[in-house]
Structure 1
Amino acid sequence: MNLLEAEKFPFQQTRFTRTSDIQTIIKLFSQFSKEELMKKNQEVSIAGRMTGKRMFFADLTDQSETIQLKFSSENKKFAELDNGDIIGVVRGIVCRTDTQEKKNERKLSVEVEEFSLLSKCLRPIPSSYYGLSDTEERFRNRPLDFIVNKQKKEIFFLRHQVIKNIRQFLEEKKFIEIETPILVSEASGAQAKPFITHHNKLHRDFYLRIATEIPLKKLLVGGFEKIYEIGRIFRNEGIDARHNPEFTTIEVYQAYENAEYMMNLTEELFHYLAEKVFEKEKFTFNSHNISLQKPFRRLSMIEAIKEHINIDFAKINGLEEACQLAQKFNLKLEKFQKTVGHVILAFFEKFVEKNLIQPTFIYDYPVEVSPLAKSKPENEEIADRFELYIGGLEFANGYSELNDPTEQKKRFEEQSKQKELGNEEIASFDKEFLEALEYGMPPAGGLGIGIDRLIMLLTGQNSIKEVIAFPQLKNKEKNFE
């Protein structure tokens, strides 16, 4: 087809008026027989991408659904169309057509009386029957992936519904959403290696945020009591089925509440999403059948280790004995991990985490690995903190927020020593946050949930790349270790 000689050069079209989307047509007219539709003589205008062409028929797909088009055998313009072209049916009649696949079955269709070519597809589109099966190529060419693989596109409609309902859940509880900076002067609020960028006019370096925690807690100091943010986070770390350098989290903070309240809130939110969006409580994730029925199991970290490998850290006396145990179990400890708390966490991550299949809250973390959490009143070595595990993966992290500026400074100083010993993921020593705490921050509970992993669970995806529209990938031309 010579585009320049076309009746209407397709790339000049700026607008096409539709009377309906395809899904609405299917809902309104699928109940009627061929004869009833002939009597109705219902005229429609629809538009979309031609995703299949055969004889005098084609499939038309818009954002909502796919429907068959029927063209006259005398329509010469139809012969010039290619699979992938975007067309507008200016005038079409809803009808039913006989199918070759099944006798006596008549397929809901639109008989095309007039159409316009709105945009020409200049590259070949794989058949929707065979799809685009190369996983790596799918992620590198997402537009084509979404054109060909309808089920992959559906994930993002569900993602939208999940995020919309998270906001609805929190709105009902009178939380407000406040956006905080992505460019920050200190990479704090989590343990992660940051990305660094430079601002030319200000003549200074900035970090891409590794968490939204610190600015949200500054808002608590400023008098906001029920706040959250859904936002993009950036961490200069590895790429695999569970990690992407940029990802989405939600962090929630409520003044005058604690870790237990946030644990209950987390469980309530998961039940809410399962019911409101999916209308079910059982999901398949990482080859496991997961039940989100109440209640989620709750175990202290020490109880979980004892249950899985029969070691009771409540009876371990001192660092030397803990390190001997680590050596016995072939656990390699870095220089900065030489505390009892680090050994406990190492045992948990090695022997327990992957076995937590059904929803389980692990609480009572070592304070050494929880620098922003309050210690429990009865034991200063234990942080009032929890994490939620499902299918062997962490989904949520929450705690009673540390609001003592003197203790927070001490924790930051201890973290700085770990950084000197080689821990590249230690957060910055955030002086501005300490100054904010000195104005007084109310006791508060905080919660963080990884949105991408949540979508993985609820849509049954085993790779984080499936739930991120444009995941980061390794360079095609270079080898990476």
Structure 2
Amino acid sequence: MAIDPQHWQPTASIHNLRKRAAIMAQIRSFFADREVLEVEMPLMSQCAVSDPFLDTIETLYADYVGSESYPLYLQTSPEYAMKRLLAAGSGAIFHLGKAFRNGESGSRRHNPEFTMLEWYRPGMDDQQLMDEIADLITPILKLDSVERLSYTQVFKRVLNIDPHTAPLQTLVAETRKHVDIELEDDERDTWLNLLMSHVIEPKLADLGAVFVYDYPASQAALAQIKADAQGQQVAARFELFVNGIELANGYHELTDAQEQKQRLLKDQQTREQMGLPQRPLEMRLVSALEAGIPDCAGVALGVDRLVMLALGVDSIQDVIAFPIERA
């Protein structure tokens, strides 16, 4: 793609960039008051994220000019490195900086380079961390309150379906009512995810700010598994939506090293089945868990989206000075 030298001006106004800077300062002040240590994590690593639904941007590095190069991966999140710090005894920590994801442009809410706020709180579970997130975002977004609904509650409210017990054919039929899609898949999560993204999330816009928690155990990612009030096995994780926009994703973090290893290997197997690149897994995370990580909760929050919501603008380009231009 040829770059037009005439397109030199920022997409965000200077006024919006000043507002953004004030919000960043407010975030840092919030954590300073709570004695949470700010840390800077590496943006590149020899290992990549395992999640089949995230794609890592790859770059090539050479030790010196003319030497053989090898791949490094721009990090989709500082999570793996931060957990290694937790195992080393850092205590409560937060990171406010860049993260990178392939295939994230072309939308009003996405940019392949974005700002992420991620923090970890030893001694907290997912419910307690939701309290802290609400304390952070309520003054920034001028909210009155943040509602909480379980994954089961939102499915029952919008679709009158229990996502844990509904037969696969029911999920498929319900999806086809709302989504024009040619797909054959025997995985329940495929259909649950389609219903969540295409039917339920748009309805959440009517609720303002809402935490959705206790996702199916099969969607645990890096969260612990627990029994809910009905005895159903669920993942101790949550997502925060504001005006229908996904803003944060949090967990009561997995601390079992062998379970973590199995999940990484399963992700790699899924990537192979999907024809996705096989990239080095971050086994140092497993070693860190073996050494011992404190029981804790952690969350990643999209800062660009937070600023977008705070300023009442419609596009992420209105709050980023120089977003990546599409080819």
The yes-or-no answer on 1:293 pairing with 2:144 is: yes
> How many pairs were matched up?
313
Question: How far apart in 1 are the matches of 2:273 and 2:183?
Answer: 9
Q: Assess if the C-alpha contact under 8 Å between 1:231 and 1:248 holds in 2.
A: yes
TM alignment of 1:67-216, pairs within 5 A: 140-142=7-9, 152-188=13-49, 191-201=53-63, 203-216=69-82
| CA-CA distance at 1:310 after TM superposition | 2.0
User: For structure 1, which segment, 252-261 or 193-202, has the greater mean C-alpha deviation from structure 2 after superposition?
Assistant: 193-202
Question: How far apart in 2 are the matches of 1:419 and 1:185?
Answer: 18
- Structure 2, unmatched stretches of 5+, are none
Question: How far apart in 2 are the matches of 1:434 and 1:321?
Answer: 38
The answer to which structure has the higher strand fraction is 1
**1:242-276 C-alpha deviation (Å, 9 max, x unpaired):** 100100010010112111111111101012334xx
**1:402-438 C-alpha deviation (Å, 9 max, x unpaired):** 0101111221222122212217499863212111111
2:211 to 361, 375, 380: 361
| CA-CA distance at 1:472 after TM superposition | 1.0
| CA-CA distance at 1:448 after TM superposition | 0.9
Structure 1's 380 and 201: CA in aligned 2 closer, same or farther, altered over 3 A?
A: farther
Which amino acid is the alignment partner of residue 255 of structure 1? Answer: P
TM alignment of 1:169-318, pairs within 5 A: 169-188=30-49, 191-201=53-63, 203-239=69-105, 240-274=107-141, 281=142, 292-294=143-145, 296-317=146-167
| Percent of paired sites with the same residue | 29
The yes-or-no answer on 1:421 pairing with 2:273 is: yes
Structure 1's 333 and 165: CA in aligned 2 closer, same or farther, altered over 3 A?
A: farther
Which amino acid is the alignment partner of residue 62 of structure 2? Answer: N
* Alignment root-mean-square deviation, CA: 2.5
Q: TM-score, normalised by structure 1?
A: 0.61
**1:173-212 C-alpha deviation (Å, 9 max, x unpaired):** 1101110111111122764111111111184210011111
The yes-or-no answer on 1:447 pairing with 2:299 is: yes
Q: TM-score, normalised by structure 2?
A: 0.87
Correspondence for 1:468 = 320
Correspondence for 1:130 = none
1:344 to 168, 182, 192: 192
Correspondence for 1:115 = none
Question: How far apart in 2 are the matches of 1:264 and 1:426?
Answer: 38
Structure 1's 352 and 176: CA in aligned 2 closer, same or farther, altered over 3 A?
A: same
Which amino acid is the alignment partner of residue 126 of structure 2? Answer: A
The yes-or-no answer on 1:376 pairing with 2:226 is: yes
Structure 1's 171 and 426: CA in aligned 2 closer, same or farther, altered over 3 A?
A: farther
Bigger radius of gyration = 1
Describe the SS at the equivalent of 1:402: coil
Structure 1's 212 and 263: CA in aligned 2 closer, same or farther, altered over 3 A?
A: same
| CA-CA distance at 1:371 after TM superposition | 1.6
Correspondence for 1:285 = none
Question: How far apart in 2 are the matches of 1:233 and 1:426?
Answer: 21
